[in-house]
Amino acid sequence: MAKIISIINLKGGVAKTTTTVGLAQVLSTEFNKKVLVIDLDAQTNATTMLIGEEKWLEVNKDKQTIAQLFYEGVYPKSEKIFDINKAILKGVSNIDEVKLVDLLPSSLELIDIQEDVIKAPRGIFSTIRPVDLLGRQLSKVKERYDYILIDCPPNLGVITRNGLKVSDVYIIPTIPDILSTYGIPQIISRVKKYSKELERDIKPLGIVITKYREQSPVHRRTIKKLQEEVDCKVFNTIFKENDSIASAAEYINKSTVRQKWGYGGQVNNFIALAREIIEAME
């Protein structure tokens, strides 16, 4: 049975996508886990990190993206083009040693589709609710994977709720500053409320500290505050601010995860975080 994890923060620029992709890659190379990355974010960052812009243009043209999945849910009389078995791209990575990561890609068109889902007449969803659109498709393939990582958009709208509904737990990456952490209590309280509506428990697995600056008193105080005041554990693994993380977003072929993420300890951090997650979930 796949372990399904949503990765979310209401604030952009907190290394949410980087965390998702890095975790997927080390789960594959270091722990031999079969991983599916689902890109629910219309910015398509996870998609382009894993397949590059050229391949993304190709799959977007063929309408085999998450946007088409939602489009056909909103417009049930539309031509049925989306096929999740075709849409999932197998063995994606620009790293030679990463063999076990698949991708359900996103599309810029998801921005408009989200508005369509929200505005759609209630009668359209007489047989399936809008928050069930992803789950209906995912049920066809989820048994193939050990882990499914869902890169959610920076909001708690209907697209994100699709991701949360199929998830066992969620992770919150954050920079330890005031602006990045401000919305964390809101995320936890709103997901808790949503869980009650669904009558199933979607728990926060932990907060991941990213872009940490050791010399920053604000960063140190913020971590302490999160540990003491927020109803969610803070992972022991901390990602320091590092240029290698930023450069890893480029789609350039590498042989190993260490070549991609640099030799300054970032790969070890991803491995340590993956180990914390595995121990918590298995």
What's 88's domain CATH number?
3.40.50.300
Q: Which domain holds residue 187?
A: 3-281
Return mean pLDDT, the chain.
91
140-176: buried (b, 16+ CB within 10 Å) or exposed (e) per residue?
A: ebeeebbbbbbbbbbebebbbbbbbbbbbbbbbbbbb
User: Per-residue pLDDT for 100 more than 50?
Assistant: yes
According to the model, what pLDDT value does residue 110 have? 93
User: Per-residue pLDDT for 244 more than 80?
Assistant: no
Least confident of 21-35, 63-77, 237-251: 237-251
Q: Which helix (H) or strand (E) holds 245?
A: helix 243-247
- The proportion of the chain whose per-residue pLDDT surpasses 70, expressed as a percent, equals 94
According to the model, what pLDDT value does residue 125 have? 46
Q: How many domains does the chain have?
A: 1
Cα separation, 59 vs 107, in Å, equals 9
According to the model, what pLDDT value does residue 242 have? 78
**Segment 17-41 mean pLDDT:** 97
According to the model, what pLDDT value does residue 188 have? 96
Report the predicted TM-score, pTM, of the whole model to 2 decimal places. 0.95
146-200, pLDDT tens digit by residue? 999 999 999 999 999 999 999 999 999 999 999 999 999 999 999 999 999 999 8
**Segment 131-159 mean pLDDT:** 95
